[in-house]
Amino acid sequence: MSQRMIFLGGFAVCAGLMAAALYFQYVGQLEPCPLCIMQRLSVIGTGLILLAGGLHNPGKWGRRFYGALTVITAGAGAGVAVRHVWIQHLPFDQQPGCSYEFAYMLENFPLAKTLKLVLQGTGDCAQVTWSFLGLSMPAWTLVFFVGFVVLGLTLMFSSFGKR
């Protein structure tokens, strides 16, 4: 398989994840919590990096560069997903309370405070509204983020040539 197909395949997975997220939001009526939105931004960032790599079809150093960027964005998404899964597994009396909506925070608070509030999570973040094979949506995004980190590391350290 060529490196271009690997980049574009990773992008296609990201596009599929975003399509699923939008389906659940607009068809399934599941409103995303602040941590979900942060995970979406990470998926979009990872997807754009992989798309750029696929369109560029770089040599060895370019592949390593795109791989490193993929590790960074997917690693950040994995960190948010781990936090989200942890919040979902807290006992009810220890779950964080509800907070502001994400759009409100962006409009009314400085970016640093918005990020702090988002990463604290909300009561909405603690609710498991969908699961598949026993894993919640944030747990599934964590699985995909780990896969993207592995993909990025593979791109960084593989020995296959540009095809």
Domains detected in the chain: 3-157 (1.20.1550.10)
Query: Is the pTM above the cut of 0.85?
Result: no
Write down the H helix ranges in the chain.
Answer: 3-26, 34-56, 60-88, 102-108, 111-120, 123-126, 137-157
* CA–CA–CA angle 19, 25, 28 (5° rounding): 105
96 or 83, which is more confident? 83
Identify the bridge partners of residue 135 per DSSP, sorted by sequence position: 132
* pLDDT of the residue at 161: 54
User: Contact, 137 vs 24, CB < 8 A?
Assistant: yes
* Mean pLDDT, residues 29-47 taken together: 88
